[in-house]
Amino acid sequence: MANTSSRTLRLLSLLQARRYWPGAELAQRLQVSARTLRRDIDRLRELGYPVEAQRGVDGGYQLAAGAALPPLVVDDEEAVALAIGLRAAAQDAGEGIAEATVRALAKVVQVMPGRLRRRVEALSAMTVPAGWGGAGGGGLDPALLTQLAVACRDSERLRFSYTAADGRHTERQVEPHRLVALRRRWYLVGYDLTRHDWRSFRLDRLSSARGTGTRFRPRELPAADAAAFVRAGIDQARVGHEVEAIVDAPGATVRQRIGRWSTVEDADDQRCRVRMSVDDLDWAVMALVTLDADFQVVSPAELLDRIHDWGHRLGRVRPAGPAPGASNGPVSTKF
């Protein structure tokens, strides 16, 4: 701990933990003279981390936002929070930052001591599954996502079992290349060693993955990028529903509420046209109903059925009569 670089790191972490530090206190904590502290501060500044200083009574140092990101020194709890947040974010990240999210997740998880990893597992078990646990949508296992992200990063071969679209289970051995989020789904792009070709795998159809422990030299993907590869694959096997509806509310309002998942076009001042791609029609119904406005369905017809189905179900809800089951029922799960 008497080292210079370790001290520099500690200084950085102190400056990150609290904004203002009187120089004397820092010097005392780092067990060096005030002069050396000043030199350490200089070192940080030379490294590109702008440390600002206030002179005079009650002065001190503070770490400001600079051109580059300093290494983040986080404590245990913060690391757990990071992992949880990233896991949740990965579930429905926009296509733009999804990759960065898993990259960061892999980074954090990789260096996290085992005890923290266990805490993350425990905590995220009680977290909301993907997109509201919607009726049909199989939740994505966040641990799987992490595992695959690490395997991609480290170029480690994987074995897993995969359930193809036709329902057949197969065992695969794959060189993982990249994770791709597309249309609210995750795909693993990799080189299938038994098929001797590139494939993309939907994460929700993939299970019991484990690394083989062998590393490989990354191959070159025969596509512009991984996202393009996946897109090419799923375009020929379309699935899901294209929803279109006219909503009796201003486009701006609608955009604010559900613009994230849909394309909103202004029709006139009071109406707009909403388009979205969903896997599950219930999802579309929820999106539309939360708008608190009337709407008309353009397509598909099934959506209208579904909506009326919901309407009926909700319409026939009645106050509960005499208690049907004694309220002293034995089984109860909290949370």
Write down the least CB distance from residue 176 to a copy of itself, Å.
Answer: 12
138 belongs to the binding site for DNA (CB under 7 A)? no
Sites for a copy of itself among residues 249-278 (CB under 8 A): 251, 255, 257-260, 263-268, 271-273
Sites for DNA among residues 49-88 (CB under 7 A): 53-61
| Closest among 114, 259, 98 to 181, alpha carbons compared | 98
By beta-carbon proximity to a copy of itself, the closer residue of 69 and 237 is 69
Burial of 97 (C-beta count, 10 Å sphere; 0-12/13-18/19+)? middle
Binding partner selected for residue 53 from a copy of itself, DNA, none, CB under the kind-specific 5 to 8 Å limit: DNA
Stretch of 129-137, 183-191, 198-206, 234-242 lying at the interface with a copy of itself (CB under 8 A): 129-137
Compute and round to an integer the Cα radius of gyration of the chain: 26
Copy the structure tokens of residue 10.
């500690």
Other beta carbons within 10 Å of 323: 7
Copy the structure tokens of residue 194.
């038994």
319 belongs to the binding site for a copy of itself (CB under 8 A)? yes
Give me the amino acid identity at 220: E
DSSP class per residue in 260-276: TTSEEEEEETTEEEEEE
Write down the least CB distance from residue 166 to DNA, Å.
Answer: 37
30 belongs to the binding site for a copy of itself (CB under 8 A)? no
Sites for DNA among residues 20-49 (CB under 7 A): 22-24, 31-36, 38-43
Q: Cα(204)–Cα(186) distance, rounded to whole angstroms? A: 8
Give me the amino acid identity at 264: V
14 belongs to the binding site for a copy of itself (CB under 8 A)? no
93 belongs to the binding site for a copy of itself (CB under 8 A)? yes
Copy the structure tokens of residue 215.
């590393």
Write down the least CB distance from residue 107 to a copy of itself, Å.
Answer: 5
Query: Residues interacting with DNA, by CB under 7 A?
Result: 2-5, 7, 22-24, 31-36, 38-43, 53-61
